[in-house]
Amino acid sequence: MIGTETRRVIRERLDAEVGRLGKEAPRRVALTYPSPYHVGMSSLGYQRIYRAIMDAEGMMAERVFLPDGGDRAGASIERPVSYESLRELSDFPVIAVSVAYEIELVGLTRMLDAVGLEPRSERRDPRAPFVLAGGPLTFSNPVPLGALVDAVILGEAEELTPWALRVVFDAADKARALETLAQHPNVWVPSIHGEALPAIAACSDALLPAHSVIRTPHTELRDMFLIETERGCSRGCTYCVMRRTTNGGMRVVPADVVLSKIPEDARRVGLVGAAVSDHPKILDILRALAAQGRTAGLSSLRPDRMRDELVQALAAVGYRTLTTALDGPSQRLRDVIERRGREQHYLEAAHNAKTHGMDRLKLYLMLGLPSETDTDIDECVRFVGELSRIVPVALGIAPFCAKRNTPLDRMPYAGIRTVNHRLDRLTRGLRGRADIRAISSKWAWVEYVLAQGGLSEGRALIEATRAGGRFSDFRREFGELGHRPNGEGYAHAIPQAGPEWKGRRVLPVRV
C-alpha cells in the first residue's frame, strides 16, 4: 500500500496535467520510467511511446515512475504504482520500461525489488510480468540492462513497441514470446542471443516528429510543449552515439510541419533533437514562435552556429542564458574528438550574448579526455577567463566516459584521482571568474563501467543496489570483476567478448 502523502502528490500531479489520453482497454501496460515523475515526463521518447501504446488497438498504458527520492544513493522506496489507477507495478502483465542512461538501472532494480519481483531476469519466475525495455541507452550499450529485463527493442521504438507488446500478449507463455521476439532484426533477447546485439532500429520518416502528449508544470521543463525538429546528426564527434553513422544521420522535419503541430495554447515550446541549431530553417522557426508570443528552448546549440542573428532570435524567444558545448578544455582536445568549435566561435557567442542582453554564457565541458594533460587545463583557464571578461560564464563539467558504438569506444576512464586533480586545477585557476558545477568523478566511473560493461556488470549493479546503492557498494561489486576506479586493471577489466560494433575505430592516444 502507498501512503496518503503519495496519493495526494499523484492526485495533484494528475490534476495539473493537460493532454492525458483517456482510454480503457483490456491489455494494460505499465509504461515505466526508472527516474522520478519530473524527469520521466520531460522525456520526449517516453511520451512518444505512451502515445504509440494508446493508439494501439486493445491496449492502454498506465504510467509508473520511480518514487520521488528513489534516485539518491542509499535510498529505499515505496512500492511503485501507476498514476492512472494506483495499481502496483507487479499487477501488470507487461512492464515496458524506457531507460535513458546507465545509472537509471539502479532505479529499475529498486522498482522491481520494491514490488517483490526478482530483479535478475534469469532468476525471475516465468509467470512474473514480462519486462520489455527500450530507450536512448539502447543506442550505446544496453548489455548490462539485459541482466534485468526479458527483451530489449534497440533504437527507435515507436513503430516496434506495439508489435512487440502484441507478441507478448498473444503468446501462450513467456518462452514462446521470447522466441518470436528474438526473430526480429532489432530486438535483443539476452536469454537467446547472449551478449550479441542485433542492429538498431530506425522508424519510418513518416512518423516524425515526436511531440509531447501531456504537458505538466511538475517537470524540469515546466509546461513546455516538446517537439522534434530533426532526428540524428550530420556531424562526427568521436565520443557521441548520435553521430552521422547512426540511422543515416540527420533527418529534418520541415519548419511548417513543426509549427503546425504546436497547440494554440502552448506558450512554451521545447525544440528537441541532437542538432537543433543545424536545422536549415531554425531562424524561421524561432522568428515564427516569437511572433506568436511564445517562449522557446532548444535542446542543442552548436558553438559554430552562434551568429548574431541566431542569438538575437533566441533572445526574442526568451533566452537569458546562452548554452553550448566547449567539450574539450583545449583546441588540441577539441580536435581529438573532432568538434568544430574554435575559440573565435566562443568569443563571438560571448559578444552576441552580451549584445542581446543575456545574463550569461553556459558551457559544457568534459574532463579526463584521452591524452589530456595539465597543459590542456591551463589553456582552458586562460580562455574561459578571457570569455568571462565579456559575459559571466558558467561551466557544467562531466568526466569523459567512453561509450560503445563510437570511435572512442574502449578508451579508459581517466581515474577518479586524475579527474579530481584536473577539476581542482581548473577550479583554482578560474576562482571568482566562472561558476563551476561538476558531476561526481566517482559516479562517472560507475557510469563508465556500465557504459563499457556486459551482463556481469549488470548483475554486479543489481547486487550493489541491493546492498544500498552507495558508491562503496559499486566499488566493491565492480572490484570483484577487476574494475578499478583509478586506472589499474583496465586491460583485463574491459570485456573482450562483447558485441563488435560496425565502424569502430580506436584512435591511437597517449594515456
Residue 54, interface with ligand SF4 (CB under 6 A)? no
Residue 243, interface with ligand SF4 (CB under 6 A)? yes
Number of residues that bind ligand SF4 (CB under 6 A): 9
Residue 235, interface with ligand SF4 (CB under 6 A)? yes
Cell representation of residue 134: 527500450
Residue 237, interface with ligand SF4 (CB under 6 A)? yes
Helix (H, G, I), strand (E, B) or coil at 397: strand
Residue 274, interface with ligand SF4 (CB under 6 A)? yes
Burial label, 108 (beta-carbon count in 10 A; 0-12, 13-18, 19+): buried
Phi/psi at 223 (5° precision): 55, 20
Task: List, in order, residues 6 or more apart from 304 with CB less than 8 Å away.
Answer: 340, 341, 342, 345
Residue 275, interface with ligand SF4 (CB under 6 A)? yes
If the CB atoms of residues 237 and 272 are measured against ligand SF4, the closer one turns out to be: 237
Scanning 45-53, 164-172, 238-246, 417-425 for contacts with ligand SF4 by CB under 6 A, the matching segment is 238-246
Strand-pair category, 151-153 with 187-188: antiparallel
- β strands within 368-482, DSSP E: 393-399, 434-438
Scanning 32-40, 237-245, 280-288, 303-311 for contacts with ligand SF4 by CB under 6 A, the matching segment is 237-245
Please report the DSSP string for 184-242 in residue order.
Answer: STTEE-HHHHTT---PPB---GGGPPPB-S-B-SSSTTTTEEEEESEES-S---TT-TT
Task: Count Cβ neighbours within 10 Å for each residue of 171-208 and write b for 16 or more, e otherwise.
Answer: beebeebbebbbebebbbbbeebeeebbebbbbeeeeb
Rounded least distance, CB 243 to ligand SF4, Å: 4
Rounded least distance, CB 407 to ligand SF4, Å: 11
Residue 333, interface with ligand SF4 (CB under 6 A)? no
Give the residue from 419, 349, 340 showing the smallest Cα distance to 384: 349
Scanning 150-158, 231-239, 379-387, 490-498 for contacts with ligand SF4 by CB under 6 A, the matching segment is 231-239
Residue 306, interface with ligand SF4 (CB under 6 A)? no
Cell representation of residue 226: 516538446
If the CB atoms of residues 240 and 450 are measured against ligand SF4, the closer one turns out to be: 240
Rounded least distance, CB 55 to ligand SF4, Å: 29
Scanning 159-167, 180-188, 239-247, 388-396 for contacts with ligand SF4 by CB under 6 A, the matching segment is 239-247
Near ligand SF4 by CB under 6 A: residue from 115, 132, 240, 326: 240
Helix (H, G, I), strand (E, B) or coil at 97: strand
Contacts with ligand SF4 by CB under 6 A lie at 233, 235, 237, 240, 242-243, 274-275, 302
